[in-house]
Structure 1
Amino acid sequence: MDPRTKIRNIAFLDPSDPGYRKFVEESRLANMRIRESRGNRAYSDLISEQFELAVREWLKPVGGTEKRILSYERLDRNQKYITRYRELDFVIDDRDCIYLGELKVSFSTSLLRRAYRQLSEAMDVLGRTGKKVRAVLIYINLSHENAGTTVNRFDPDFTKVQFMHRSVNGRPYDFLHLSPVEIFQWACENDIISDIGLLELALEEARNRQSDRASKRDLRSRNIPEAEWPPRLRGNKSSGKIYRYGRNRTAESQIAFRLKEALGKRNARISRIGTITAFKHERGMGEVRTLSSGNLLFRVESFGSDPSILPERGMVIAYGRKIVTEGGQFSLEGCRVLSSTDDFELLMSLLTMEASPNSPWLMDRKGVLGGGLTLEMLKQTTLQIFAGKGEQRFMDTVLHYYDRLLLDDHFVHFCSYLENIALPLIETDDRDMLEQTLYCHFFANIRPGVLFQVWKHAAFRYIAYTDGVDYEIPMEIILQNREQLNGAHWERIAQYSYSQVIHQS
């Protein structure tokens, strides 16, 4: 959270608090569950709810409290304070320190990449109170039998458990890696969990998923087409996830209209971009291959008397206009090398050229980009803009563009660019973490139109969900966009829990 953001009235509430319940009811769509398309919920999803109850009971003797809904008022752009809520899996208040907790129950460690970041905003808010705050992450590993890292010993006395100490970007947190067996048995013995057969079902499910993952890796390594895979490997299921979204539709429509107008004006300038194909230093002349006018000449003087970056072969440039030389040829004026983060918007205008229903970029469900002149220009311009600027500058630029300028219809192309072009070129110590940070931001700030595009192209990984899985999205979003649906989309919807209702509407 930006430290300049004004907040007040910070408090912890019980989940039964009337104000919080009213918020939940009024935000029904914003709290809908994205479910698997094939009906029954996964055992890992079911057992995680039981483990949440067990962990909260386990923590009561050390200050675990039911007041785990963080409430605060935040000043918005209209200079009005709006009440915000953030639900935490568990909270421990031992007077000297408040421990904010996140519980993850899974067979895969991929969820851990974003777990800490889910706590970061709550920590920033509580930090304003002057109280000591610390993050706690408990990971119950359904694949503990094959764990490659230390599994901590469970003890009914929480004070005797040995946590591991880790950090993200210099901020520490306490990490506990548990086998599900001992804590499940303890919960059953204390009548916290009554379905004693649920654990074995969840463990068997985890074993099958790990086996399927290994089989998929083997098939991919042997370059076997997915169409030739066993049927069970083509549509592997995963547990449902929760997402939050919610915007005023009228306001969003007005914003989208203004953005389309702005982009229309900006796209008129797209043709004024090109790649230097030749440059002779001794003559101070060169040639640019443009997107719309073929090859054009330029002189080094066209870059100004003291350009910050001298032109070189292969660079992508923008130019102001083209003129006719005395010899009857076209030459360029007002040239500059694209090298500032302010040029990112212009770079994205190249991307919008490919954002059409027939774009080859979407022929591959996984978002593998096609080739061509535009693709090479995207790569080169990305290098020119972000070379030596660091991952934080890159992240700030990308998130600003998503929040303020990106049209919903272009979201999948935008993420395809990030995944296949930008991220491999950015200097970073942890590329996976950088990628997940971006996707988690999209998840936390999702818009209905973006969610529809994610569903339409089966690109759930771009909002930090398990890839290769089909999820239900709210019926209202399907109905709002039904004119974009084709036969294949309706076949997917036929598997959903609301299929009968939607066909009748």
Structure 2
Amino acid sequence: MDPTTKIRNIAFLDPSDPGYRKFVEESRLANMRIRESRGNRAYPDLISEQFELAVREWLKPVGGTEKRILSYERLDRSQKCITRYRELDFVIEDGDCIYIGELKVSSSTSLLRRAYRQLSEAMEVLGRTGKKVRAVLIYINLSHENDRTTVNTFNPDFTKVQFMHRSVNGRAYEFLHLSPVEIFQWACENNFISEGGLLELALEEARNRQSDRASRRDLRSRNVPEAEWPPHLREKKSSGKIYRYGRNSTTESQIAFRLKEALGKRNARISRIGTITAFDHDLGMGEVRTLSSGNLLFRTESFGPEPSIQPERGLVIAYERKTVTEEGHFQLMGCRILDGTDDFELLMSLLMLEASPNSPWLTDRKGFLSGGLSREMLKQTTLQIFAGKGEQLFIDAMIRYYDRHLLDDHFVHFCSYIGNIALPLIETDDRDMLEQTLYCHFFANIRPGVLFQVWKHAAFRYIAYTDGVDYEIPKKIILQNREQLDAAHWERIAQYSYANSIQRPT
């Protein structure tokens, strides 16, 4: 979160708070990911709900409170205060210190990264209150039997539990790694858990999953073709089930979007870009391969008194105009090397101007534009702007461009650039987490037009949803964009709950 963002009225609410209930019912954003109906859910998912109830009972004697919904008002760009909510698994109030916690029940540690991110975001908000904030992460490991890492001892007296201390991205966390057996038995004995038979089912499912993962690793290491694997080990295809996408659309100003598009095209015409193909330091003269005018000359003076970086072969530059020399050659003026985050908008405006709505590149995650801006130019400019400057600068630039400049029709194109070009070039300790941080922001700040583009191109991974699965988006969004639908789209819609209420064109 930008430290300059204005936040007020920070408070903790009970989950039954009318404002929060209205928020959940209208926008259905209590969970970041869509889940199947209860009847089809996996046992680990079902038992996690039981563990949440047990943990909250466990924490009551030390100040655990039911007021675990973080509420605050945030000033948006239109200078209006918008109420935001963030659900925490548990909250402990201890004088001038607030303990906020996440509980993860799983056979895989991959969920822990999301927990750290969720806690970090809540800490940033609560840090504005002036109180001490401590983050606690409890991990109940369904694969504890085969885990070689330290498993903490469960004690019914929470004050006697020994936590491990962790630091992630400069933030301190209290970490507790538990076996599910002891806490489950304690919860059953105290009637905090109502479905006593779930544990063995969840553990058996976790064992099967771990065994399958080990078998797949072994088959891959021996280069056995997937077609020859046992059927239950092969990658599962989509079941064909349709899950409802969980966010209502909001009204958007079409005038604002049209104005933004017009300004973007105007700026793209004004801005010019090219790659230095040759430069002679002794002569102070070089050549640039431009996007629209072929190869043109430039001199050191073209960059003004002090260029930020000395011109070199391969660098991408922008220029303002071209003039004719006494010899009759074109020469560039007003040159500058693209090396700041302010230049990212220029790069994207040129890229998006090249992108057409029907570009096959949109459905090819491994490819890129075949003409106009080349892949190498995009890679080079990305390096010039972000190399060695830290991942937070990159995150801020991507989020700022999405929030302020990106047109809805270009969302999938933009995300494909992030995944295929930018992310492999960014220095980071955890590229997957960096990617998911961006996708979760896009989801949390999604617009109806973006949601339609995600649905149209089956690119739900770009908003942190499970890839390869179809989701039912609101009927209103389908109707608003029906002119863009083809026969394949209508076949998808035929499986949705509202299919019979929409007249399909003949």
Where 1:250 maps in the other structure, the secondary structure is coil
Percent identical pairs in the alignment equals: 78
Aligned residue type for 2:251? R
Q: 1:214 to 1:324 in 2, by over 3 A?
A: farther
Q: 1:31 to 1:426 in 2, by over 3 A?
A: closer
Aligned residue type for 2:17? D
Contact 1:136 1:174 in 2 (8 A): yes
Q: 1:159 to 1:478 in 2, by over 3 A?
A: farther
Aligned residue type for 2:189? E
Match in the other structure for 2:268: 267
Aligned residue type for 1:45? D
- Residue 406 (structure 1) shift: 1.3
- Residue 275 (structure 1) shift: 1.2
- Residue 377 (structure 1) shift: 0.3
- Residue 208 (structure 1) shift: 4.5
What CA distance in whole angstroms lies between the structure 2 residues aligned with 1:360 and 1:89? 43
Measured against aligned partners, the alpha-carbon deviations of 1:82-106 in whole angstroms (never above 9, x if no partner) come to 4433222111223353211112223
Matches within 5 A, 1:297-308: 297-308=297-308
After TM superposition, what 4+ stretches of structure 1 lie above 6 angstroms from structure 2?
A: 218-229, 239-244
Between 222-231 and 320-329, the greater mean CA deviation after superposition: 222-231
Match in the other structure for 1:291: 291
Matches within 5 A, 1:42-441: 42-77=42-77, 79=79, 81-95=81-95, 97-211=97-211, 213=213, 233-235=235-237, 248-251=250-253, 253-269=254-270, 272-353=272-353, 355-364=355-364, 366=365, 369=368, 374-441=374-441
Aligned residue type for 2:69? I
Q: 1:5 to 1:499 in 2, by over 3 A?
A: closer
Aligned residue type for 1:345? E
- Residue 246 (structure 1) shift: 6.3
Aligned residue type for 1:444? A
- The unaligned stretches of length 5 or more in structure 2 are none
Where 2:314 maps in the other structure, the secondary structure is coil
- Residue 345 (structure 1) shift: 0.7
What CA distance in whole angstroms lies between the structure 2 residues aligned with 1:350 and 1:73? 36
Aligned residue type for 2:389? K
Measured against aligned partners, the alpha-carbon deviations of 1:205-256 in whole angstroms (never above 9, x if no partner) come to 444544555566667778889899858514278x9999986674133x3432
Count of equivalent residues: 500
Q: 1:21 to 1:499 in 2, by over 3 A?
A: closer
Contact 2:249 2:477 in 1 (8 A): no
What CA distance in whole angstroms lies between the structure 1 residues aligned with 2:106 and 2:475? 28
What CA distance in whole angstroms lies between the structure 2 residues aligned with 1:352 and 1:222? 44
- Residue 375 (structure 1) shift: 0.6
What CA distance in whole angstroms lies between the structure 2 residues aligned with 1:502 and 1:141? 46
Aligned residue type for 1:423? L
- Residue 422 (structure 1) shift: 1.9
Aligned residue type for 1:257? R
What CA distance in whole angstroms lies between the structure 1 residues aligned with 2:223 and 2:470? 24
- Residue 457 (structure 1) shift: 3.3
Q: 1:65 to 1:466 in 2, by over 3 A?
A: same
Where 1:268 maps in the other structure, the secondary structure is helix
Aligned residue type for 1:235? K
Measured against aligned partners, the alpha-carbon deviations of 1:454-477 in whole angstroms (never above 9, x if no partner) come to 343343333334444444444444
What CA distance in whole angstroms lies between the structure 1 residues aligned with 2:228 and 2:490? 24
What CA distance in whole angstroms lies between the structure 2 residues aligned with 1:404 and 1:469? 29
Contact 1:285 1:300 in 2 (8 A): yes
Between 311-320 and 415-424, the greater mean CA deviation after superposition: 415-424
What CA distance in whole angstroms lies between the structure 2 residues aligned with 1:416 and 1:389? 22
Q: 1:258 to 1:145 in 2, by over 3 A?
A: farther
Q: TM-score, normalised by structure 1?
A: 0.85
Q: 1:362 to 1:145 in 2, by over 3 A?
A: farther
Q: Specify which structure has the bigger relative contact order, considering alpha-carbon pairs within 8 angstroms and separated by 6 or more residues.
A: 1
What CA distance in whole angstroms lies between the structure 2 residues aligned with 1:256 and 1:383? 30
Q: 1:218 to 1:286 in 2, by over 3 A?
A: farther
